[in-house]
């Protein structure tokens, strides 16, 4: 883990309240893995707590690190005003990421809403040695405009929207269930809203498919010092920031 001052290269509005932040990183980028996150310091020092943001993508040869975020609270409202050339302090990479030590498997990666944030980096790595199908879902076509920033030329991609403005009308479980009838799936990786995650975990359990999920919980410290992001698992209480955010779905209780 590093505390690192990074120069802002771009802070682009993707659509509505969604932004893509690109930074120059010289240190932490070497250790970053898909599924991990960073705690970003706000410009407004009156906002004391850093904000946890999922790692979206890294380009090690260019030392560029990307974060995809949605403007919701005071912290992210502060982020949207960051300008190119400014300096922002990062703490990270933090947490445990996805298992990327897999080869020659049929993998389904699912990102719903802001759950698409960690999937660009994950897909990029997994697709080098596996057959990857990517299912993305959002409220409408504007909420998944970030897909234009993904490298999906060789990836089978299925898009769903709640209102049917792009792709299949409905949620991500519709194409997932169809895929499971058509092919053998060895592993599922997922991140998204809690109701979506519950459905995916239950489907994976019923089909006896290995499934890893990245959970979203409110965090204060990001390093396991407090208990604000604790969840109940079959192995006792776990902290999402330190023990996760990625977990094997089989240990999650109250699916």
Q: Are 78 and 118 in a shared domain?
A: no
Q: Are 207 and 133 in a shared domain?
A: yes
Instruction: Give the range of the structural domain holding residue 60, as residue numbers without chain letter.
Output: 2-94
Over range 230-247, report the average pLDDT: 84
| Domain annotation covers residue 110 | yes
| Domain annotation covers residue 191 | yes
pLDDT at residue number 237: 83
pLDDT at residue number 66: 97
| Domain annotation covers residue 236 | no
Q: Are 110 and 90 in a shared domain?
A: no
Q: Nearest to residue 75, comparing CAs of 93, 50, 92?
A: 50
Q: Which residue do the tokens 């970053």 mark?
A: 32
pLDDT at residue number 75: 78
Over range 61-89, report the average pLDDT: 91
- The residues, any chain, with a CB within 8 Å of residue 208's CB and separated by 6 or more, are none
| Domain annotation covers residue 233 | no
Q: Are 190 and 132 in a shared domain?
A: yes
pTM to 2 decimal places: 0.93
Q: Nearest to residue 56, comparing CAs of 151, 168, 198?
A: 151
pLDDT of 223 higher than 70: no
| Domain annotation covers residue 246 | no
Strand, coil or helix: 121: helix
Interval 93-142: pLDDT, tens = 999 999 999 999 999 999 999 999 999 999 999 999 999 999 999 999 99
The last residue of a domain, from among 66, 94, 122: 94
Query: Mean pLDDT, the chain, as a whole number?
Result: 91
């Amino acid at each position: 883990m590093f505390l690192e001052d990074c120069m802002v290269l771009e802070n682009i509005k993707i659509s509505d309240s969604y932004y893509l932040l690109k930074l120059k990183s010289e240190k932490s980028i070497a250790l970053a893995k898909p599924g991990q996150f960073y705690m970003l310091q706000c410009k407004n020092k009156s906002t004391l707590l850093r904000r946890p943001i999922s790692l979206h993508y890294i380009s090690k040869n260019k030392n560029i690190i990307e974060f995809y975020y949605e403007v919701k609270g005071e912290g992210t409202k502060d982020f949207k005003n960051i300008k190119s050339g400014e300096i922002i302090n990062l703490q990270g990479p933090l947490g445990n990421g996805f298992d990327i030590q897999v080869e020659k498997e049929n993998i389904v990666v699912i990102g719903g809403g802001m759950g698409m944030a960690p999937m660009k980096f994950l897909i990029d790595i997994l697709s080098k040695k596996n057959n990857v199908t990517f299912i993305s879902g959002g409220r409408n076509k504007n909420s998944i405009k970030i897909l234009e920033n993904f490298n999906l030329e060789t990836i089978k991609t299925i898009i769903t929207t709640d209102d049917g403005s792009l792709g299949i009308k409905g949620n991500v479980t519709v194409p997932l269930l169809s895929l499971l009838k058509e092919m053998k799936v060895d592993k599922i990786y997922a991140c998204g809203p809690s109701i979506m995650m519950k459905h995916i975990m239950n489907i994976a359990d019923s089909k006896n498919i290995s499934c890893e999920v990245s959970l979203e919980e409110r965090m204060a410290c990001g390093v396991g010092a407090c208990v604000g992001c604790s969840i109940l698992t079959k192995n006792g209480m776990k902290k999402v920031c330190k023990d996760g955010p990625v977990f094997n779905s089989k240990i999650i209780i109250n699916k």
